[in-house]
Amino acid sequence: MTDLEISKALALAIGWPEDQVRTIGIECYVVTGSAIDRFKPKEGWPWWVKGRVFDYRDWAVIGPIAKKYKLTVNFKNSVAWGDGVRGAISDTPQKAIALAVIGSVK
């Protein structure tokens, strides 16, 4: 999975409705308020009333998710595990957390 696919899968796994998760270019967005998803014909860029970049690599995103799912992370080996959550091993702690959450929801 690419980083973009992981971010989208994680957003869906933690409960964001599919119609409120968008991937645009190299970023994943989640709707955080009232939004209208329209494309400006000339720019090809969506018009968002309120939206937020959702990137699992950002500790501001993945930190609260790890806390909610009570995940323990070994930073040296990038392993994440927790009660009732399938463990995951990856090249970064953030990715290990994301993959553990995605894997436990499937």
Given the structure tokens 């436990």, which residue do they identify?
104
Provide the domain limits for residue 32.
3-105
pLDDT score recorded for residue 38: 47
Cα distance between residue 96 and residue 76, in whole Å: 12
Per-residue pLDDT of the chain (106 residues; tens, 9 = 90+): 999 999 999 999 999 998 888 888 898 988 765 544 444 333 444 554 357 889 999 999 999 998 888 887 777 666 766 655 567 878 888 998 999 899 887 6
pLDDT score recorded for residue 106: 63
pLDDT score recorded for residue 39: 41
Domain count along the chain: 1
